[in-house]
Structure 1
Amino acid sequence: MKQDENSVALVGGGAACVATFIALVKQRAVRTIYIVSPGDIGPGMVFGNHDEDLLCNTSAEIMSAIADVPQDFLLYLRQNGRPVDPEAFVPRAWVGAYLADRFRHFSDIAHRHGIKVIHLPYRFRSVRVIDGGGHELKLERGETPYSLFATDVVFCTGLGVPRIPDLLKTYLGHPRLIESPYPEADMLRRIPRHARVLVVGSKLSAVDAAILLCRQHCKVSMVSPSGALPAVRSRSIRNARFRLDRSWLESLFRGWTPGGDVSYPKGLRHGYLKYLAYHMSTLTGPSWREQFSAARGYRERLRDQIRLAELGQCEWQDLLVDLVEAINAIYAKTRCPFPGAMHPAVGERVEPYLTSLALPNAKKLLDVIDDGLLTVSKGRLLDVVAPPDKTAPWSVNWGEGFQNFDAIVTTAGFHAPRLVRNESGEMELEVHGARDRETVAVSQRLNAEPTRPAGQGNLWFVGPPTHSRVPISSALFVNASVAARVAENLAMGRCATIARRIPPSGRRRATMAG
């Protein structure tokens, strides 16, 4: 590989890939961009849905894939005859179409500026560092291997494989054990109308599954360790009126060290409550105590939260985007290992709000609960008896005795992908949540540690692979911001390389001419 080829390989073809591609083209950071993705580039798994009942849980206002053009998604919708309110929760399919459109648009811009764009429909296997600079990627398509040489590599893959409860791992591959509700068409094809379905989990993907299955008159039982549904919000936008105190938040994080005692000291608990109360008091609406439901049952709590959202009495929602960015900024700027983090007890209480339901979805969920099609229970799977044939039911006990189901859908989340070293010294993507000791560390600059000098090429990360540095990494506005940082770092490295190649006399002439 020639040192001056200046190429980058993007591994992955979804939202993080598109955001990174756009940022690289805008920065004119490289001469050649390879995209390693077996499928089409754009929607990926997250936004590759076709069913318009599957909504984003963040508002259209913050769905831009371009960090410095925050209104880009809204502009795209208007250009395509869909003028929506900035606070609206739109179908995820619309975002998928937007990503595909923006990839095509910036591909045209790249070609006009002499940047080569090459889509390689292969699967990534491994990458090795070349001593003289750059990297060799090993790819495959079926039984066909392929080698690719690139200066830099950006891992912008999506989530790993679904997390499966231990009791169900024995039955992987069973036609009526659905490991993930996505793609939704596959789930609906495998589960007949009017079926009895157990959904394992109660977060956002469980809600998606319940809404779609109840729409075809299935009777759904949702079970999770918490037995609780996410909170409800009427919008998810940036609050331009003020910002959270990040220094104060970081000092609270340093009150607990990951891997240490998980007890929750009263002093630290009081500190978090004081922080919340202070920032909530700066809002102009009702007192913060009036913005949260005190109902205990899931149905009553959901109904109460819908009422608060419709009345505009949940102003906590306007803190969430800044909270996500504040948490990510704290993690990103510190040296590894990070000496502190949000205490798990706080994380458990905050998560239902960070991942809160879009109001339209919450209303659909309440309708199917009121119609008797959906129940939510607290519990863990204790025993599972698989059906002996395709017509017999599953028999499952989670603490309320054995109950029969025609199908089981797991929605326990996904493993975070990580880059790991294999025995040959090459690096592979680990998507099953194993091999922690071989994990490649992510630096403050979002490249692999140890890093190499500018111009020799590095391994970079955007999206879910940045989890150790960007703990809340799935939102599109986060991906766009991280992609812009990576592209800027790549562009700076290219400038440094060019500067080193210009003789000192040439640099003086260039400076005088400038």
Structure 2
Amino acid sequence: MGRHVVIIGGGATGVSLFSRLSGVTGMASISIVDPNPVGLGTAFGTTDPLLLCNTSVDVTSMDPDGESDLLGYLAGRGWPVHRDDFVPRHLVGQYCRERYLQRRREAEQAGVLVRHHLSRARTVSPVGAEGYAVELADGTKLTATDVFLCPGLDRPVVPEVVAGHLGHPALATSPYPVEELRRLPVNSRVLVLGSKLTAVDAVLVLGRDRHRIVMASESGALPAVRTRLRRPRTPRLDSAAWNALSPHSPSLDREVTRLVLTAVAQAGNGTALRSQTSTAAGPVERLAEDLEIATSGRAHWQDAI
């Protein structure tokens, strides 16, 4: 009979899943539900060259084995890239889109029916012993043996403190698509709630257009500063000790911490983690120190990830 798969979400995660499933024996059909073009999700659908990936080319790949597939894709198109590079996100969007079209052709040649529904999924309900009914916003009803949820950043989480202002023209629940930020009046005063990667994206775009910006977050913590994020050539974590951990151990937290800190120290030839990161109290001072540590090659913790 074959499997009938529905993938909800056609961004990078959905395409990566589709790429793996399209070559699996026994597939009868694969349906992707997304109102946008497949491959161009929220994170990688941006066209702004200022916004970079937060992982290096080496791990930003749909193929988990061997050399990075993204590295080969970009090099084959003339991009001078290295496995450590953080490339503009729009390049990954193009990569996802082209890989989807390639895998789709291969699946269809193998007899798999592939469909893209330009809509949103409303409900997923069990039907019988081994099936599901998926109802779409446009009224279409799909039946499936398997359903995978890959919605990504489709629905931002809105803090309670501003939830009462939803719908106000001066409130944006997400910086994506960034083209919306570019339409703000000149010299606007902008409050950015949050200080992690999405907030940094917003500040980069707003700052380039010379708006006046204040960032506010409960923690004041900024993303870790790093110069690469890739697979180490030599594994740092003691896999035997990790696999021997008991999830029921009362000291599990301490045991995990010890293994991780040992891996970090090994990556730094014995340098402890406290010497690889800033301990400054203020976020501005901490950012400056972390930048200096990373650019001078002392952020060894990144090679244990």
Fold conserved (TM > 0.5)?
A: yes
Q: Does 1:309 align with 2:294?
A: yes
For 1:85, the equivalent position in structure 2 comes to 82
The whole-number CA distance in structure 2 between the counterparts of 1:286 and 1:247 is 20
Aligned residues: 303
Query: Relative to 1, partners in 2 of residues 1:23 and 1:169: Cα closer, same or farther, differing over 3 Å?
Result: same
Distance 2:172 2:89 in 1: 21
Q: Are positions 1:208 and 2:208 aligned together?
A: no
**Which of 8, 12, 22 lines up with 2:9 in the alignment?**
12
Per-residue deviation, 1:198: 0.8
Deviation at 1:78, TM superposition (A): 1.2
Report the counterpart of residue 171 of structure 1 in structure 2.
165
**Which residue in 2 is equivalent to 1:475?**
none
Mind listing any 5+ residue stretches in structure 2 that lack a counterpart?
Answer: none
Q: 1:127 to 1:165 in 2, by over 3 A?
A: closer
Q: 1:37 aligns with which of 34, 39, 44?
A: 34
The amino acid across from 1:304 in the alignment is E
Partner Cα separation in structure 2 for residue 199 and residue 252 of structure 1: 42
Q: State TM-score, norm by structure 2.
A: 0.91
Report if aligned partners of 2:40, 2:97 keep a CA contact under 8 Å in 1.
yes
Task: Rate the CA distance shift 1:40–1:295 in 2: closer, same or farther, 3 A.
Answer: same
Q: Which residue of structure 2 aligns with residue 226 of structure 1?
A: 219
With a CA cutoff of 8 Å and minimum separation of 6, indicate the structure with the bigger relative contact order.
Answer: 1
Larger proportion of helix: 1
2:59 paired with 1:57: no
- AA of the residue aligned to 2:162: L
Give how far 1:160 is off: 5.1
Q: Secondary structure at the match of 1:125?
A: strand
Contact in 2 for aligned 1:12/1:37 (Cα 8 Å): yes
Q: What fraction of aligned residue pairs are identical, expressed as a percent?
A: 37
Cα deviation digits, residues 374-415 of structure 1 (max 9, x gap) = xxxxxxxxxxxxxxxxxxxxxxxxxxxxxxxxxxxxxxxxxx
Deviations 1:19-57 (A, max 9, x none): 111101222340211112222100211111110111111
Alignment of 1:152-163 (within 5 A): 152-159=146-153, 161-163=155-157
Alpha-carbon shift at residue 149 of structure 1 (Å): 2.0
Return the offset for 1:132.
Answer: 6.1
Q: Deviations over 1:446-481 (max 9, x none)?
A: xxxxxxxxxxxxxxxxxxxxxxxxxxxxxxxxxxxx
Q: Which amino acid aligns with 1:225?
A: E
Q: Which runs of 4+ in 1 moved over 6 A?
A: none
> 1:272: Cα distance to partner?
5.5
Alignment of 1:312-391 (within 5 A): 312-320=297-305
Please say if residues 162 and 180 of structure 1, whose CA atoms lie closer than 8 Å, have aligned partners that are also in contact. Answer: yes
Aligned residue identity for 1:298: P
- In 2: Cα distance, 1:26 partner to 1:69 partner: 18
CA distance in 2, matches of 1:124, 1:270: 42
- Show the counterpart of 2:131: 134
Post-superposition shift, 1:8? 1.4
Q: CA RMSD in A?
A: 2.2
Structure 2 residue matching 1:100: 3-state secondary structure: helix
Contact 1:74-1:83 within 8 A present in 2 as well: no
TM-score, normalized by length of structure 1?
0.55
Partner of 2:282: 297
